[in-house]
Chain A
Amino acid sequence: MSAPLTRLARKSLLNRGVSVGLTVLSVALSVMLFLGVEKIRTGARDGFHATISGTDLVVGARGGAVNLLLYSVFHLGDPTANIGWDSYERVATAPGVAWTVPVSLGDSHRGYRVVGTTPAYFDRYRYGRRQALRFADGRGFDGIYQAVIGAETARRLGYGLGDEITLSHGIGEVSFAEHTGHPFQITGILAATGTPVDRSVLVSLESLEAIHAGWDSGVARSGAQAATGGSGLQPDSVTAILVGTDSPIRVLSLQRQINTYRGEALSAVMPGVALSQLWRVIGAGETALRAISVLIVFVGLSGILTALSAGLNERRREMAVLRAIGARPQEIFALMTLEAAAIAFAGALAGILAVNLAFLAVSARVMRRYGLDLGQAGPGLTDLGVLAAVTLAAAVLGSWPAWRAQRNALADGLSIRL
């Protein structure tokens, strides 16, 4: 019973090649858009959640968790206050603490944030699935007036190893106060990570101290002089501390300990928790994006409805002939819904293939340039789900013209009016 129908549906669709082809194309384009948005969306979300990993606590001055995360990890906005160096030492030596990396923010270079830290940063900062930072070129800093730059900083500003840059006080793109007396030499360029590290300039805490010492006194000390006096360059405060513990079970008690530390008002947050909180804020846009792309798929599908409904009258004879040969009204209905589903299936399949090919073509480049992991190339479960959902939705939509065709066929009897 259904064998003649699938055959009829196929021949009928092939016969209307151009118009059916255009409908298939519109479904394909809408599915491409949907899957493209979906893949970028999940890539962005996963990338966001993977901004920092392997760090158990981020410690800063007393304040909200999201705010602390924003300035310490995303380099957005300003810290409410700094942490005294003695507090840093207390945290670093607290029982259960395996390692600490201090982070000092406040300077910039042509709009890119300068991060003062220790060489341990390059070993301890992890992102994604606990991936370590990697040098695309050069090595870390081991003295003052040396800088390591992130992948995007290097690419956008066109810097290479050995180039000299000057830092400016404050974080504006156009700074009014330049530390012009102390050029920094670039010793290393990091590989892309898809995290804010890509947009930063990393220098040692001592280097920051050195330029600020010169700044404070109002007299620029010479680089050689500052370098030799290393012991005098200990900072008296930092912006935040990345903390790793001996064992995950110590994290909560350590967090409580830091939060209740009497010497200074501190906040310790677990990055994973704060990231989730932050994503809930950003996620609203994500939901809107998704809703729009779903709507676009429906626009694509409604093209099927239009195509089938438009052909309904000219196919009235054909349906009457099929009825005369012995086709049941349900078979007329099935033929029409089958055609709708077949158009949607072909369109969705084409869209899925195109998106996957496109991602295959660009994902390596996106990974290299932006560090954004677009997920596995090649059709996945989402693609199968979309294929099934689109086909089913088209069959449901197609049941409207199908029902009309069936009703016509029943009403016409043997005497079809032309």
Chain B
Amino acid sequence: MMPGRPAHPAAIDIGALRHAWPGEADILRIDRFHVAAGERVFLAGPSGSGKSTLLGLIAGITPCQQGRVAILGDPVGGMSPARRDAHRAAHIGVIFQLFNLVPYLSALENTLLPLRFSPQRAERVRRTGQTPVTEARRLLDVLGLDETTLGKPATALSIGQQQRVAAARALIGHPGLIIADEPTSALDRESRDGFIDLLNSECARTGAALLFVSHDTALAAGFDRHVDLRDINRMAIAA
């Protein structure tokens, strides 16, 4: 760890952030948004309010135009695109709403994929004394996928199974931050609740912070904190 860096830097530290898509007015103006290390935050907001845009900035997929975006103590906002990509590979797990998996890879191969893109993450697995495959199997098992589904191609899985494989893939190699963009909106109520419980408990176990986006505030119960994007985004207030 770098000298002078706090032992547990904030998972997300955003200040004076502004973002506009090309040819459009500002969609985000956030003075301050903070998620502590290991904190599990539920982020709500109506459709089109810029939730996914914010996640893109946090993940470093969308370049930061103005303001400060620091993830786990690293100033992602100021990094070169290549370093942002490497940072994301090593420290952030992403779960989408749908179609999370690479269609031509099996459930197990999909889960292992982040370890192939980030040596750091692979190293973290090795330090726990596990091999990548045993760790992937363990996570898939914890998330309730039985042995027979592991070798199946992603396209042969049900949506619920796909989302759980996506969660295992986000969690493998102990990233410090998991961001999930409405991962349960395509699930029925039962599997939705199960999914959120598992995600929460796994994050709690590994100490990963979780930023969970949904417009369904009924899901907010199990989280440490509940944030509405309209409360932190000045553009939303103006609108």
Contact = CB atoms under 8 A, between A and B. Distances in A.
A326 B118 contact: yes
Contacts of B100: 321
B182 to A, nearest CB: 11
Contact of A327 (B56, B99, B103, B117): B117
Contacts of A139: none
A328 B81 contact: yes
A416 B61 CA distance: 12
A3 B116 CA distance: 8
A323 B82 CA distance: 11
Contacts of B52: 413-415
B117 A321 contact: no
Nearest to B94: A324
Contacts of B117: 4, 325-327
The residue among B55, B81, B104, B153 with the most chain A CB atoms within 10 A of its own CB is: B104
B177 interface: no
A321 B97 CA distance: 11
Contacts of B96: 320-321, 324, 414, 416
Contacts of B53: 413-415
A414 B118 contact: no
A8 B116 CA distance: 11
Contacts of B232: none
A130 interface: no
Interface string A264-287: 000000000000000000000000
A327 B113 CA distance: 10
Nearest to B54: A414
A238 B164 CA distance: 96
Interface stretch (A10-18, A27-35, A178-186, A289-297): A10-18
Interface stretch (B67-75, B83-91, B124-132, B138-146): B83-91
Interface in A288-327: 317-318, 320-327
Contacts of B81: 328-329
A221 B90 CA distance: 106
Q: Tell me whether chain A's interface is mostly helix, strand or loop, or mixed.
A: helix
A4 B61 contact: no
Nearest to B119: A1
A164 B139 CA distance: 93
B94 A414 contact: yes
Contacts of B56: 413-415
A137 to B, nearest CB: 64
Interface residues of A, number: 26
B17 interface: no
A15 B89 CA distance: 25
Nearest to B116: A4
A11 B116 CA distance: 15
A121 B101 CA distance: 79
B17 to A, nearest CB: 15
B235 interface: no
A418 B118 CA distance: 28
Given A414-B56, A415-B56, A325 B114 contact: yes
Nearest to B87: A326
A326 B90 contact: yes
Contacts of B135: none
A12 B104 contact: yes
B105 interface: yes
Contacts of B85: 323, 326-329
A15 B55 contact: no
A323 B62 CA distance: 11
B113 A325 contact: yes
A321 B117 CA distance: 12
B59 interface: yes
Interface string B43-70: 0000000001101100101100000000
Contacts of B89: 325-327
A416 B55 CA distance: 12
Contact of A324 (B59, B82, B104, B153): B59
A19 to B, nearest CB: 13
- 9 A-B pairs with least C-beta separation: A326-B89, A15-B104, A415-B52, A414-B56, A4-B116, A324-B94, A413-B56, A326-B117, A413-B62
Interface of B: 52-53, 55-56, 59, 61-62, 81-82, 85-86, 88-90, 94, 96, 98-105, 109, 113-114, 116-118, 153, 169, 181
Given A325-B169, A326-B117, A413-B56, 20 more contacts: A14-B104, A15-B104, A320-B96, A321-B102, A322-B102, A325-B94, A325-B113, A326-B89, A326-B114, A327-B85, A328-B82, A328-B85, A329-B85, A413-B61, A414-B52, A414-B55, A414-B56, A414-B94, A414-B181, A415-B56
15 contacts: A4-B116, A8-B105, A11-B105, A321-B100, A321-B102, A323-B61, A324-B88, A324-B96, A325-B89, A413-B52, A413-B62, A414-B52, A414-B55, A414-B181, A415-B53
